[in-house]
Amino acid sequence: MLPIILLSVFGIVLLFLGFLKTRAVLLPAALLFILIALGAGFLEWNKSYLYFGDMLLINNLAILFSTIVLISAFMVVALSGDFLEDEMAQPAEYYAILLFSIVGAMMMIGYENLIMLFVGVEILSVSMYILTGSDKRNLRSNEAALKYFLMGSFATGFMLFGMALLYGAVGSFTLTDIKSYILLSHGRPSLLLYMGELLVLIGMLFKVSAAPFHFWTPDVYEGAPTLFTAFMSTVVKTAGFAALLQLLSVSFSAIYGFWWVILAAITALTLLAGNLTAVYQNSFKRMMAYSSISHAGYLLIGLAALGQQSRSALVFYSLAYSLATISAFGILLLVAKQHTTDGRPDESYSAFNGLSRNNPLLAFVLAVSMLSLAGIPLTAGFWGKFMLFSAAVDRGMVWILILAVLMSAVGIYYYFRVVIAMYFREGQAGRIRVAPFYQFILIAATALTIILGIVPGLFQNIM
Amino acid sequence: MNTTYLPSDYLPIFIQLVLALGFIVGSMIVSHNIGPKRHSEKKDDPFECGIPVKGDARTPISIKYFLIAILFVLFDVEVIFLYPWAVNFKGLGMEGFIEMILFMGLLLAGFYYILRKGVLKWE
Amino acid sequence: MQTDLLAILIPLLPLIGFIINGMGFRHVPKGLVGILGTLGPLVSFACSLLLFTGFGGQTIKVPLFDWITVGHLNIPFAFQIDQLSLIMLLIVTGVGSLIHIYSIGYMKHDEGYGKFMAFLNLFLFFMLLLVMGSNYVIMFIGWEGVGLCSYLLIGFWNKNTSYNNAARKAFVMNRIGDLGFLLGIFMIMGAFGSVEYTEVFEQAAGFPIGDATVVAITMLLFVGAMGKSAQIPLYTWLPDAMAGPTPVSALIHAATMVTAGIYMVVRSNVLYTLSPVTLEIIGGIAIATALLAASIGLVQNDIKKVLAYSTVSQLGYMFLGLSVMGYTAGMFHVMTHAFFKALLFLGAGSVIHAVADEQDIRKMGGLRKYLPITYWTFLIATIAIAGIPPFAGFFSKDEILMHAYQHNKLLWVLGVIGSAMTSFYMFRLLFLTFFGRFRGSEHTREHLHESPATMTVPLVVLAVLSIIGGFFNVPEALGGEARLAEFLNPIFNLSRRVRPSAFGETLLTHSEEYMLMGISTAVAIVSAIAAYVMYVQRVSLPEADTVERPVVQKVLYNKYYVDELYETIIVKPVRGLGDTFYSFGEFIIDGIVTGTGWLVQQASGQLRRLQTGSIGFYVFAMVVSIAAILCLRFFVRF
């Protein structure tokens, strides 16, 4: 609760800090604000409170998800030093919007009332539309923003319709009311409830880019400035899955038999679409977009096989995925700046050729994050997949497990293309100068990935 | 609150819907059919204050028009909140007063931001 | 709590040393490298001493964090401090510190000095994990870690191909053993549902003697020990491992790592007590290893090779002790052996240092005059290992032989024969190296010098320990109190419960004990005299490699052709099999792999077409899918 208020105020403060002559204060200020919010969040650890007239529920699960969101945001902001050099950029506004979007994400994580979910989704989405189009001189950025906006509002429409139907059936927006309605209906709840649930699900699945609602993802991720792509693919995804988990586990676990088939089918489709299409890509950034779709697929396994293990598995996987993704985009930012074709940074695989020669650290960081995304042991990604898969085993979903394992094998192919490019291809990559703080963030993310890979219990202890 | 509705309970809504749609469709059809129509070159010409038409209607319009329009809507809508507050002023008491001050403060901060950004400067 | 802190600090300090020296390799100034590298082990040693003095006899568990939780299996990351781990801690950190100090002098001029110290520290870290862990999985991590460090350090001078081959051989042989160990751990998980020592042993104590599961577990674990502690048939890597720098041979391949197998068996003593069959097998393998290695050692001419075979042989003795349930005797020998064998290796290092990296004892001789400290300490170590009272080796070896005598007279006879051989080859080594006249080149002779203080001080300390080490456990027959046995006693409580008969009072009368001691001492002294007569009085020298030898000697000199045997019966067939599989693989596996790859590519190419970039299509696709979902859900029954 406190972080939500703090971040809203800090966002406004940042807007006004933008009027100062020196832009240099913005980055440290934004980082500081996020850290304060992070600390404030833990004040409510081990207490469970309802806020705003039962609109918002803050418990340990919500705090953990918020922490992942805040850590991701912290890293993204920390990697954003370039804004301060760009004349056209408006860092104060970017940072303020980032902070506001975190507020939205935190509402999505801790909502207890569907209205709160809607408000959160909208705050996050609108912020993302703006950030996607923030590179105003770039036509693709504009196109991506418009596409995202149109598709996003379309999906929001469905979600809102679903909520209205739920209200029609239950007479309340509160999750626990929906639950008790289902329990009291003796297995025959109104048809409106089913319709409503499906439509809300569809709206949320769009936000986390699950197939077949994923078409916008590659275009938007590729068009948006790389940094915001990193933000979108981590924060939005984490918040989206937290919201879905909350919705399904609190309200709809009683009618699991109704929705799990659909979710399982969507999981399978997402895994197939994400992994298979990623194989064909030549642009690293676009590959990462498909990879984010495929990871949505893995995370969906945890929801489709909703059970005891789902919570910790989803939290762990989100963290592992966020760490690896942000460091990968961080490296991409650095590398793409080196070569430009037609004034655009080169984001293809070939940009990474021979990176290990002169930049062993960067190559190592990227290699570790690729290994983690591919789910190779001794990285956090491996344990994330392991936990999700064992959740599926608990539910006896063998076929989806087989598909997921096969698709992970496909994933190894496209993730390793980068590693091969870095270590085995000849390239003329010169030494890239990296700011110490930037370097620190990359090393910290890599270290955390490895530590969680070796000692997953460290994190399970916290849960 | 009554949470069990019979389909017949929705009847008033349905009637209203039919009436609204019926009125629009009906009046359009009626006016189209009973109105006299005489075509001539002068009559079919787009009319603009007596000045002959020049160029395309789809010219780019300065973004400032939109900005001002949006800002107007924004502040206009938020001012609406003052009315219910005024009505319930006594009932809401001190707490309501503080909340309203916060709300107005935020609005003013936004207003200051707009001013500093130079959105309202026309030139 | 203070104990917790100490227990965490002990492995942490060498790790910090590794990180600083390893990360800062080539950046840390040379003077600092040695100090940083030695400080960690020294402080660890101090912490171990503090732990030891503050130890109240109660097993202490120091949980750090929950490490892996899968289903019902929970593996915590915790340290266990008890009598056994304390003894090992003292040996590892104590001897380790001395060898680190020695390395400062020995490796200072090597260009990889920093790297060397870093690896040494890393080794110590893993070794400490191995002995401190409170469950088999942590032990396994340490086990693998020391194997890795051993590999890195054997191949430390990696510009030399044969050294690299030696490193690879050590690694592969160890991996074979590790596989057994790992399978053993899996079986433990399956049988007991836990890998924590306390839980496993508590449960195991309820099993009947000779239970098939326990037999299988102990056999598998022993396969791991065979690899790590160089027992037949996995011993050939250890002599080759002498390619590494001498301090490495002293620390890893004599004093600590190779005794990990013994530690593991003693740690699991309950399981082994429950499985007499395994113990019999261990006994057979152990005595065979002891005799085989000792006989090879009789004719070797490389100073380090002799010591390496001697190590293999002594490890055989330790296992012999364990196999006759003389667990304390085995541990006691681990301790004394760590003292005198480290001393021998360091002494050999000092000699090699003096004679410009020459290792052939035929080219040495008469070094007594030039290297007085080395000579005296080497002499002490030789007496100790030969088993002549009152030096350390006598007490520990005697105890093992006594247990063997009680168990099986034949084992005892073979043990005494081995001990005669030990005494002979060690004195042969001593005489050829230090007596007579110098047989190397004139140029080398002029440069003969005693080693610097950083190298001689550890020698002296170890020499003192080799003299007094035996007094930690003087048997009652000699008026001692058997203090080590008393100290270690609680470790074997459970074993005693499952097989009380095996732990009964000794059946030997004091006069019998005196007789046994007398015999082994006499044998050792006679062998020493024989060596004196042969190599000092008659000044006979081993022939050069080219000379034709009598058959027996030839077989011994060529180490029973075991390496060649392995080459023909294992390496070649495996390679052949590999080739066959390879061609098979080319044909079918490749076909499947490329086929799958092609299929994925095709599917990808088709799927990619869906991504048209047109919003109209996207929205259309979305609406169609929503309609499909709703239809599926509401109109299709399943």
Q: Which of B63, B99, B116 to mutate to test the interface with A (most CBs of A within 10 A)?
A: B116
B22 burial type by CB count under 10 A (0-12 exposed, 13-18 middle, 19+ buried)? exposed
The span from the CA of A221 to the CA of A217, in Å, is 6
C614 touches chain A (CB under 8 A): no
Nearest to A457 among C65, C603, C632 (CB): C65
By C-alpha distance, the chain B residue nearest A13 is B109
Chain A hits for C621, Cβ within 8 Å: 212, 215
φ, ψ of residue C342 in degrees (nearest 5): -60, -45
**Burial annotation C210-228 (CB, 10 A radius, 16+ → b, else e):** ebebbbbbbbbbbbbbbbb
Residue B103 has pLDDT above 80, yes or no: yes
Chain A hits for B109, Cβ within 8 Å: 12, 16
**Cβ–Cβ below 8 Å for C604 and A150:** no
A-B contacts at Cβ under 8 angstroms: 9
What tokens appear for C17 in the block? 């040393």
Residue pair A438/A319 in contact by the 8 Å Cβ criterion: no
Q: Is B17 within the bounds of a domain?
A: no
**How many domains is chain B built from?**
1
By C-alpha distance, the chain A residue nearest B106 is A12
Chain A hits for C69, Cβ within 8 Å: 457, 460
C5 touches chain A (CB under 8 A): no
- Domain extent, residue A20, equals 2-462
For residue A293, name the pLDDT band (cuts at 50, 70, 90). very high
Closest Cα of chain C to A261: distance in Å?
9
A15 touches chain B (CB under 8 A): yes
Cβ neighbours for A159, distance < 8 A, ≥ 6 positions apart: A118, A121, A199, A200, A202, A203, A204
Mean pLDDT of A148-163: 93
The span from the CA of C185 to the CA of A275, in Å, is 37
The answer to whether A and C touch (≥3 CB pairs < 8 Å) is: yes
Closest Cα of chain A to B3: distance in Å?
6
- Cα A121 from chain centroid (whole Å): 13
A151 touches chain C (CB under 8 A): yes
Nearest to B109 among A12, A170, A171 (CB): A12
Residue A338 has pLDDT above 70, yes or no: yes
Residue with structure tokens 């586990």? A249
Q: What pLDDT shows up at residue A319?
A: 94
By C-alpha distance, the chain B residue nearest A169 is B3
For residue A289, name the pLDDT band (cuts at 50, 70, 90). very high
Which H/E stretch holds residue B59?
A: none
Q: Is B9 within the bounds of a domain?
A: no
Q: How does pLDDT run across B72-90, given as a tens digit for each residue? A: 998 888 888 888 888 888 8
Q: Give the Cα-Cα-Cα angle C65, A376, A364 (nearest 5 degrees).
A: 90
Q: What pLDDT shows up at residue B58?
A: 79
**Cβ–Cβ below 8 Å for A202 and C633:** no
Q: Is B51 within the bounds of a domain?
A: no
Closest Cα of chain B to A10: distance in Å?
13
Residue C32 in 3-state DSSP?
Answer: helix
By C-alpha distance, the chain A residue nearest C141 is A454
Chain B hits for A19, Cβ within 8 Å: 116
Closest Cα of chain B to A93: distance in Å?
11
Q: What pLDDT shows up at residue B56?
A: 76
Closest Cα of chain C to A234: distance in Å?
22
Chain A hits for B106, Cβ within 8 Å: 12
Please tell me whether the interface predicted TM-score (ipTM) of this complex is above 0.90: no
Nearest to C69 among A158, A218, A457 (CB): A457
Q: Is B18 within the bounds of a domain?
A: no
Q: What pLDDT shows up at residue A173?
A: 93
Closest Cα of chain C to A280: distance in Å?
6
Question: Taking Cα atoms as reference points, which of C14, C37, C13 lies closest to residue C25?
Answer: C37
- Looking at chain B from residue 5 to 64, which residues have their Cβ under 8 Å from any Cβ of chain A? none
Torsion (CA) C608, C610, C613, C618 in degrees, nearest 10: -140
Question: Taking Cα atoms as reference points, which of A207, A215, A195, A266 lies closest to residue A237?
Answer: A207
Amino acid identity, position C438: F
Query: For chain C, which ranges sit under pLDDT 70?
Result: 1, 25, 70-72, 479-480, 502-507, 539-560, 570-571, 574-575, 577-579, 581-586, 589-590, 593, 637-638
Q: Is B88 within the bounds of a domain?
A: yes
**Cβ–Cβ below 8 Å for C611 and A219:** yes
Mean pLDDT of A15-30: 87
Chain A hits for C626, Cβ within 8 Å: 158, 199, 202
In 10 A of CB A47, how many CB atoms?
A: 10
C443 touches chain A (CB under 8 A): no
B113 touches chain A (CB under 8 A): yes
By C-alpha distance, the chain A residue nearest C76 is A457
- CATH code at position B83: 1.20.58.1610
Q: How does pLDDT run across C364-391, given as a tens digit for each residue? A: 777 888 888 888 888 888 888 888 877 8
**How many domains is chain A built from?**
1
A456 touches chain C (CB under 8 A): yes
For residue A164, name the pLDDT band (cuts at 50, 70, 90). very high
Q: What pLDDT shows up at residue C545?
A: 60
By C-alpha distance, the chain B residue nearest A8 is B106
- Domain extent, residue B66, equals 61-117
Q: Is B54 within the bounds of a domain?
A: no
Residue C382 in 3-state DSSP?
Answer: helix
Q: Where are the beta strands (DSSP E) in C214-260?
A: none
